[in-house]
Structure 1
């Protein structure tokens, strides 16, 4: 069930906001927007720095007549108008840039993850991936679309303000500079701690999301085994841990904010006290002091804002690291740099040559051991044997979801590792034991087999799979949404949708993994007829625990403990009195109850063959 702590393997840790540089490849395509935003940013910062000069003029020339005073206030109004327009432009372009960049990051992460081999999903939970795509990208959007521009604006105001302070009074400016090192110390020290806490916080959020996803996707099983209380406790534990880390982060940031703001304004008050004394002594004018006060306030508020934004940047740096890990995730399977094209038309000749394989999660158990098997074009071969014998593993190797540890798997004489996976997989159609139904319409689910298929082709495929009757009985027929994972359908109906999908694909290689296991006797007979027609003139690999479904296969391969122990026709194998004969006696006589269909699929108990 849920993990007790976040997976931290292979995670580089950044000690600075420099991790945000990883976002540059996503920002650079929109350099035009960046330039406009920077221009607006510089304009608003410059205007903010000009305002104190106008105030000084008003104060020092207050007694020079109403006309001049009116001119100063008119100029101030124009400046404020420009400030409003510049701020609006900055907000629009920066926020738009943030949304665009985050959309691109989400697309890039999803495109990367969806192509990764099953080995990756043995290490990382789906819920954790979704948390990174949603929560982490939201943090980055906040930084690019808001915090980063505010930080840059405050940096410009801080630098410009310090310059104008120096021009106003070098003496007071020197006193201000004495305060800066004192302010930087807590920002640097506490900022590093903030980054670590932010990363840990996001990790625990991902863990709780993974726990929730895993439990909700198996809600019926959880309820059937009255596991609700433990599932709730596991989710609560992960969520509370996330809260505890977040609370620690909040306390650290609050402490940093309090220290920085106190140091800034205490220093400003001290400097202003000295400035006020200089005005009384005639060293500087009242307007100069007012100008200095405003610049000092601008510098102080900018410094305070930067200390707060620093925490946001630290969080975004952690989020960027996590997303970067997904984008840079190593895949055990890769397509060759110079792939060989699979010749068309595909004949469907499959050859396994001395294949051995162990699942990465169970390296001490051999799933297949020195398997050699050749399947001729158009031949129907059935794989039988106990659960964990290696049947589903063979089908997965034929689709290259895994690479063999030794030996090779070839299609039409070409090693699968020499071809692009999307090239040769187009020549295959799969009907799994547990068919996947998407939260889409019945027609869209069938059309997964061939996206460009016409409505007539979809209906013909459903008719051939004996699915048309129940689909047409749905509220909107083929346009009825089937719900998440096909909750509106029975197990047999889901399987017939999957068979219709395979019929529509019309591929030269057909892979059937317990394709009729969820059907009642009448539906099974109908689907067997559809499968028999579908298998004609196609290379077909059939996995079945119920031997009645494989009696007519051209050849039956009997597997046990990852090895081929016998092969031949049904009659030949029964006559040999081998493992197959024992299985047949159990299923075709009343000596022993029929064995229930069990999955060979790796992932549940990881006991797959």
Structure 2
């Protein structure tokens, strides 16, 4: 069992996930070649910038002395043009690199999201995860484009200006340092507030995305229940919270932005006032004062850039904290490494058993139970996110009792056998299939596949042996062929058409001239519920793995299609192991073995006739369905 992730511990809700500048480095170092070029250009631009006031001072001195200006004017013009060209090319490189950083961060985040343990999806809302990929990563762009990456050149200009001003007039420089120090103090105090407010804003944007996704995904149910206005108000309330956090960011930024301007104006007034007095007293001449004023502008320019970078980086760190929270989560491979170090793997015993449960106990992680409870509270027991509804009946039992979902479950599935799992809602049937797929691992005991503890098998190799049809198997947006080839990407068109006709979906191919390449709509909206279910079964049949797991796979079918489905499954299941969850006992009475579950315990195993005779619960279920 995994513990809650590091990203969710040891912080208050207001602070949000914390990130540091050090955590930005991996994103920046991916583009170190370009950044080196940017740094070199920054240095060249800085040198050209620092030389300009000296040339201006020299020109003023020549004018005062009545000397010819000569080539000095053209040198100054050339420096201005070259510095501008360098600045433009540097700007292009920064924009391109900023875009590349966003792209690489999205790529890393998506790669991580698609390989997280299933319990992480159960504990989080889909819209929030999507928001991290979309809006949070965008804020990293500002790190490079608003003064962070060209800080070397700005630092050189800042230091060069300080040195030159010190040589011209230390007294004036001391007054300037006092003004700048006060400005920097204000910025430092506000930067932390911006980071916290940004993190909260991004969190609320994630909640907003989740709310919109939930409402749109359940729009028919919401409309039918007359709940559209209530959903709108709930989403609007979250949007208002995001707006409030954004206003706090704006207020803090609004204080920082004019600080540089105020510093420049105050510094300029000080220099003109005190400098004019010092020119009159003979301490410095007019040319030196003009040069000092130019260096003052060059001093304030990188300072303003630095202040802008503080705002951008503070916002980026708030977003990076949410990104890093996901990147720091262990994926399934990391989860397996932790598991191998703490859980002994069961020894291989019975290689003739395709699947064996050996005294299996299981409880959903508390983060999943808490998320399920929150989803129920938010939706008032009606609408919940689809990913939270994994093994919904079993998860509900965990919410209600906080106890194990499975208690010492043991049964054996011989190779090539047909086994049915039956029992009332919340008995643990769907959880059993989830354990076979290694969406979760047992709290105690072991699940063995082919006589080997599933925890000792590579997950991809394990799942390649399994064909799994969920209770509410989703239909992916795209075409019929794309849905079919999800597990069999190289399947030929004729094989796809053959399996579709086997599950009585031939008419779907004939609805559109596009045939296999006809779109099915978002979440399969262009198909009926029964057609979506048959398409999911066709996908599993096309892959034809050694073990088929069917969770209520015929619950949405009418009698005719159910019979066609059973015939198709019979054909493809020949020589394969089949584990079926069914509420309609009529579909499984001819199984080789029926396992009866109740409240997470096996209360009976055997054939239909044996269970009717020996197991009261099964006898009651059969009686209610007129099978006895």
Question: Do the two structures share a fold, i.e. TM-score over 0.5?
Answer: yes
* Helix, strand or coil at the partner of 1:542: strand
1:52: Cα distance to partner? 1.7
Residues 1:581 and 2:619 aligned together: yes
For 2:56, the equivalent position in structure 1 comes to 55
For 1:169, the equivalent position in structure 2 comes to 169
1:172: Cα distance to partner? 1.7
- C-alpha contact (below 8 Å) 1:431/1:515 kept by paired residues: yes
1:15: Cα distance to partner? 11
Residues 1:538 and 2:576 aligned together: yes
Q: Distance in 2 between matches of 1:82 and 1:213?
A: 51
Map 1:423-502 onto structure 2 (within 5 A). 423-502=461-540
C-alpha change, 1:268 and 1:481, in structure 2 (3 Å) is same
Q: Distance in 2 between matches of 1:260 and 1:470?
A: 66
Residues 1:357 and 2:356 aligned together: no
For 2:236, the equivalent position in structure 1 comes to 236
* Helix, strand or coil at the partner of 1:588: coil
Map 1:77-96 onto structure 2 (within 5 A). 77-96=77-96
* Helix, strand or coil at the partner of 1:429: strand
C-alpha change, 1:143 and 1:505, in structure 2 (3 Å) is same
1:105: Cα distance to partner? 1.5
For 2:389, the equivalent position in structure 1 comes to none
Q: Distance in 1 between matches of 2:8 and 2:84?
A: 49
1:37: Cα distance to partner? 1.2
1:127: Cα distance to partner? 0.9
C-alpha change, 1:239 and 1:102, in structure 2 (3 Å) is same
C-alpha change, 1:433 and 1:15, in structure 2 (3 Å) is closer
1:430: Cα distance to partner? 0.8
- C-alpha contact (below 8 Å) 1:395/1:511 kept by paired residues: yes
C-alpha change, 1:301 and 1:11, in structure 2 (3 Å) is farther
C-alpha change, 1:525 and 1:335, in structure 2 (3 Å) is same
Q: Distance in 2 between matches of 1:436 and 1:15?
A: 33
For 1:594, the equivalent position in structure 2 comes to none
| Aligned with residue 563 of structure 1, among 597, 601, 606 | 601
C-alpha change, 1:513 and 1:18, in structure 2 (3 Å) is closer
- C-alpha contact (below 8 Å) 2:17/2:321 kept by paired residues: no
Q: Distance in 1 between matches of 2:223 and 2:51?
A: 67
For 2:560, the equivalent position in structure 1 comes to 522
Residues 1:327 and 2:344 aligned together: no
C-alpha change, 1:193 and 1:16, in structure 2 (3 Å) is farther
C-alpha change, 1:15 and 1:336, in structure 2 (3 Å) is closer
Q: Distance in 2 between matches of 1:38 and 1:82?
A: 16
- C-alpha contact (below 8 Å) 1:351/1:409 kept by paired residues: yes
For 2:255, the equivalent position in structure 1 comes to 255
- C-alpha contact (below 8 Å) 1:15/1:195 kept by paired residues: no
- C-alpha contact (below 8 Å) 1:151/1:309 kept by paired residues: no
User: Which shifted more, 441-450 or 286-295?
Assistant: 286-295
- C-alpha contact (below 8 Å) 2:161/2:299 kept by paired residues: yes
For 1:46, the equivalent position in structure 2 comes to 47
For 1:552, the equivalent position in structure 2 comes to 590
For 1:103, the equivalent position in structure 2 comes to 103
- C-alpha contact (below 8 Å) 2:7/2:328 kept by paired residues: no
Q: Distance in 2 between matches of 1:485 and 1:560?
A: 33
1:155: Cα distance to partner? 3.1
* Helix, strand or coil at the partner of 2:419: strand
For 2:420, the equivalent position in structure 1 comes to 382
For 2:245, the equivalent position in structure 1 comes to 245
Q: Distance in 2 between matches of 1:542 and 1:311?
A: 57
For 1:4, the equivalent position in structure 2 comes to none
For 1:604, the equivalent position in structure 2 comes to none
CA RMSD of aligned residues (A): 2.7
For 2:301, the equivalent position in structure 1 comes to 301
- C-alpha contact (below 8 Å) 2:39/2:153 kept by paired residues: no
Q: Distance in 1 between matches of 2:94 and 2:324?
A: 22
Q: Distance in 2 between matches of 1:15 and 1:388?
A: 36
Residues 1:510 and 2:509 aligned together: no
Q: Distance in 1 between matches of 2:225 and 2:128?
A: 25
> Structure 1, residues 166-219: CA drift from partner, whole Å, max 9, x if none?
233223222222323222221121222222222222222222222222222222
Q: Distance in 2 between matches of 1:550 and 1:357?
A: 26
1:256: Cα distance to partner? 3.3
User: Which shifted more, 214-223 or 331-340?
Assistant: 331-340
Q: Distance in 2 between matches of 1:75 and 1:217?
A: 66
- C-alpha contact (below 8 Å) 2:98/2:142 kept by paired residues: yes
> Structure 1, residues 113-163: CA drift from partner, whole Å, max 9, x if none?
221222212322111111111111100122124441355543332222212
- C-alpha contact (below 8 Å) 2:426/2:599 kept by paired residues: yes
Q: Distance in 1 between matches of 2:504 and 2:45?
A: 69
Residues 1:122 and 2:122 aligned together: yes
Residues 1:136 and 2:142 aligned together: no
1:489: Cα distance to partner? 0.8
1:578: Cα distance to partner? 2.3
> Structure 1, residues 418-467: CA drift from partner, whole Å, max 9, x if none?
12211111110011121211111111110012112222332232233322
Q: Distance in 1 between matches of 2:17 and 2:553?
A: 54
For 1:205, the equivalent position in structure 2 comes to 205
For 2:439, the equivalent position in structure 1 comes to 401
- C-alpha contact (below 8 Å) 1:437/1:486 kept by paired residues: yes
- Relative to the length of structure 2, the TM-score reads 0.86
Q: Distance in 1 between matches of 2:523 and 2:584?
A: 26
Map 1:407-426 onto structure 2 (within 5 A). 407-426=445-464
- C-alpha contact (below 8 Å) 1:429/1:511 kept by paired residues: yes
Q: Distance in 2 between matches of 1:97 and 1:499?
A: 46
For 1:9, the equivalent position in structure 2 comes to 8
* Helix, strand or coil at the partner of 2:440: coil
C-alpha change, 1:535 and 1:121, in structure 2 (3 Å) is same
C-alpha change, 1:70 and 1:496, in structure 2 (3 Å) is farther
Q: How many residues align?
A: 580
For 1:603, the equivalent position in structure 2 comes to none
Q: Distance in 2 between matches of 1:57 and 1:466?
A: 91
User: Which shifted more, 174-183 or 105-114?
Assistant: 174-183
For 1:155, the equivalent position in structure 2 comes to 155
